[in-house]
Structures are given as structure tokens and as C-alpha cells.
């Protein structure tokens, strides 16, 4: 194509660089604050770098205040939700990709329309029902929907991918006498590994980041997941740390926030492509 004038190139990288710094600044400040002492966060003007990085803050929050438990709660819920999503979304996507049934497109459209339905619209009857069967204050309201194909986006994404597999592969397997179940798990899913991984990654994100559902359904403090735990910590910080009223120990709050963010960043670093392709895929067919 055409060459860019040098001045434009300088401007381009300047804009990108400044923008990137702005995007990352809050995260950098969170990390730096998490390594400071309390007097350091009160200092005017602020100390940019901690004089002596307080890695002990992490030990204090996780072990001292037993926050490792909220971490494990979050991990447990995420694992169960991911397992249920993969186990039920793959067959559903297979059904919508390969079987011809009357009104299939209509059913699929109804399923997809739930993507536009905010959780707030359905939460009250669900809470009433879950309370009636004594599921409130357990993880079941968070997990069971995932085991019933609750991730409609996942079904959509998998179906798109499954459709690109040539039908002749499946016909051949059928002629060989493979059962539909075997074709799904031994042929289609292994061939669709990128799409399945994308679904796993996004399911993890939704479960890990979700504040609304745990807030509604979990009342016992030992049960809550990290986002709720973070807010509890701020509300109770004075009691926990023995500080005076109104003085939030922000260094420890930021420690906890970092603990929450770290797994997401690590995952992103490892499988960045899955994120980007998953997002782009939603738009292309939109």
C-alpha cells in the first residue's frame, strides 16, 4: 500500500503508547499499592514505589484473614460451572448443527434471545423457587443452570464451529457404526478444540467475575466467592485490621483485588488468541 509520512508514524505510536499507559495505570497502581505499608499509602505526595515491597500483605490477607477460602470457593464454582457447560453445550450445539427437526431455527432463535435478557428480569421467581427447595445459601443456584445449557453464547459459538466440519466425516463415522454420542465426543469435539477452549475461557470469566448471583444466593460468609468477599472485606476492614472507623486499609484491599485479577491475567497471557477470537466471532455473525 502507500507509505505513511514519518510524522504520522510518530503520532500513531505516541497515541497508542499514551493510551496503553492510561489503560494499564489503574492496574499498576493497584499492584503497587498492594505492596505498600499503611503509612506509605497515606503519604502526601504519594510514594510511587513501595520502599520495601510488602509481600507479606498477601500472606496476611490470604492466610491471616482466611481469604484463601473465598479463593477456593471461587475456584470450585468456576470448575463446576465449566464442567456443566461443556457437558451440556456440546451436545446441544451438535443437535442444532446436524439434525433436521421441524422449527429448529425457531427454537434456536428463542434460545438466543435469552442473551438479551438481563439477569435482573428473572432473578425474583428464581430466588423464590430456589428458596422453596432450600437451595438458597448453597452453590446449586450458581451451578445447576450451567448443567442445563445455561451458556447460550457457548451453544451458539460451538454450533458455528461444528458446522464447518464436513458432513462426510460424520456420515463416514456413522457408516462405521459409531454411535451419535461417540461421534460427538470422539470426532466432533476433538476437531473443535479451539472453539471448546474459547467457551471454557469465557465461562470461566463469567463465573469468576460475577458479583450479582453470588450476592443474591449466598448469605453465609464462609460460602461467598471473591467478588462478594472483596466487598465484605471493605465493609469489615476496621474490625479485621483493628484500624479506626472510616480508615480503609487500601493496601490490603488492593492486595485482595490483585488476587482476584491475577488468575484472569495469567489465563489471558496463556490463551490470548482464544479470547480475541471468541469476541470477534460474536460480532461477525451478530
Partner 1 sequence: MNLRRAESRWFWCFAGPALVGFGAFNLWPMLYSLGLSFCRYEVVAPPQFIGWQNYAYLFGHDPSFWPSVRVTLVFTAVQVPLALGAALALALLLHQPVRGRGFWRAVYFLPSILPQAVFAVVFSFIFQADGGLLNQGLALAGIQGAAWTTSPTWALPVLILVSLWGFGYPMVIFLGGLQNVPRELYEAAHMDGAGAWARFRHITLPLISPVIFFNGVMGVIGALKVFDLAYAFSLAQGQMTPGGPARATLFYGLNLYQQAFGYFHMGLASALAWLLFAFILLLTVINFRLSRRWVHYGD
Span interacting with partner 1, options 51-59, 100-108, 161-169, 186-194, rule CB under 8 A: 100-108
Residue 39 binds to partner 1 (criterion: CB under 8 A): no
Q: How far is CA 96 from CA 101, 164, 174, in A?
A: 9, 13, 18
Residue with cell 505526595: 45
Sign, CA dihedral 29-32-35-36, equals negative
Question: Closest approach of Cβ 268 to partner 1, in Å?
Answer: 6
Q: Which three cell numbers stand for residue 110?
A: 428463542
Closer to partner 1 by Cβ: residue 165 or 264: 264
Residue closest to 142 by CA, chosen among 196, 198, 81, 199 = 81
Question: Closest approach of Cβ 179 to partner 1, in Å?
Answer: 10
Q: Name which position in 5, 6, 7, 99 contacts partner 1 (CB under 8 A).
A: 99
Residue 1 binds to partner 1 (criterion: CB under 8 A): yes
Closer to partner 1 by Cβ: residue 23 or 190: 23
Q: Name which position in 14, 27, 172, 266 contacts partner 1 (CB under 8 A).
A: 27
Question: Closest approach of Cβ 91 to partner 1, in Å?
Answer: 4
Residue 5 binds to partner 1 (criterion: CB under 8 A): no
Closer to partner 1 by Cβ: residue 111 or 223: 111
Residue closest to 233 by CA, chosen among 28, 275, 103, 243 = 243
Span interacting with partner 1, options 56-64, 75-83, 85-93, 192-200, rule CB under 8 A: 85-93
DSSP 48: S
Q: What is the DSSP string of 249-274?
A: -HHHHHHHHHHHHHHHHHHHHHSHHH
Contacts to partner 1 from residues 183-242, by CB under 8 A:
184, 205, 208-212, 215-216, 227, 230-231, 234-235
- Contact of 50 with 40, CB cutoff 8 Å: yes
Amino acid at each position: 500500500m502507500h507509505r505513511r509520512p514519518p510524522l504520522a508514524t510518530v503520532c500513531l505510536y505516541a497515541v497508542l503508547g499514551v493510551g496503553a499507559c492510561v489503560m494499564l495505570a489503574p492496574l499498576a497502581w493497584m499492584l503497587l499499592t498492594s505492596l505498600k505499608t499503611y503509612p506509605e499509602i497515606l503519604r502526601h505526595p504519594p510514594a510511587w514505589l513501595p520502599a520495601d515491597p510488602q509481600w507479606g500483605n498477601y500472606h496476611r490477607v490470604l492466610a491471616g484473614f482466611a481469604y484463601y477460602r473465598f479463593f477456593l470457593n471461587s475456584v470450585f464454582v468456576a470448575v463446576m460451572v465449566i464442567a456443566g457447560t461443556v457437558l451440556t453445550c456440546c451436545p446441544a450445539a451438535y443437535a442444532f448443527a446436524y439434525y433436521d427437526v421441524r422449527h429448529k431455527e425457531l427454537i434456536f432463535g428463542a434460545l438466543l434471545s435469552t442473551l438479551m435478557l438481563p439477569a435482573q428480569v428473572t432473578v425474583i421467581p428464581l430466588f423464590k423457587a430456589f428458596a422453596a427447595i432450600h437451595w438458597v445459601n448453597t452453590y446449586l443456584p450458581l451451578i445447576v443452570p450451567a448443567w442445563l445449557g445455561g451458556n447460550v453464547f457457548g451453544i451458539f459459538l460451538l454450533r458455528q464451529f461444528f458446522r464447518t466440519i464436513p458432513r462426510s466425516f460424520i456420515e463416514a463415522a456413522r457408516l462405521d457404526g459409531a454411535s451419535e454420542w461417540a461421534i460427538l465426543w470422539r470426532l466432533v469435539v476433538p476437531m473443535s478444540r479451539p472453539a471448546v477452549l474459547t467457551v471454557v475461557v469465557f465461562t470461566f470469566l463469567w463465573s469468576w467475575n460475577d458479583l450479582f448471583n453470588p450476592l443474591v444466593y449466598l448469605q453465609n460468609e464462609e460460602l461467598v466467592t471473591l467478588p462478594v468477599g472483596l466487598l465484605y472485606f471493605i465493609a469489615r476492614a476496621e474490625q479485621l485490621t483493628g484500624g479506626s472507623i472510616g480508615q480503609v486499609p487500601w493496601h490490603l484491599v488492593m492486595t485482595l483485588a490483585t488476587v482476584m485479577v491475577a488468575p484472569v491475567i495469567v489465563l489471558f497471557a496463556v490463551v490470548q488468541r482464544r479470547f480475541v477470537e471468541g469476541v470477534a466471532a460474536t460480532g461477525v455473525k451478530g
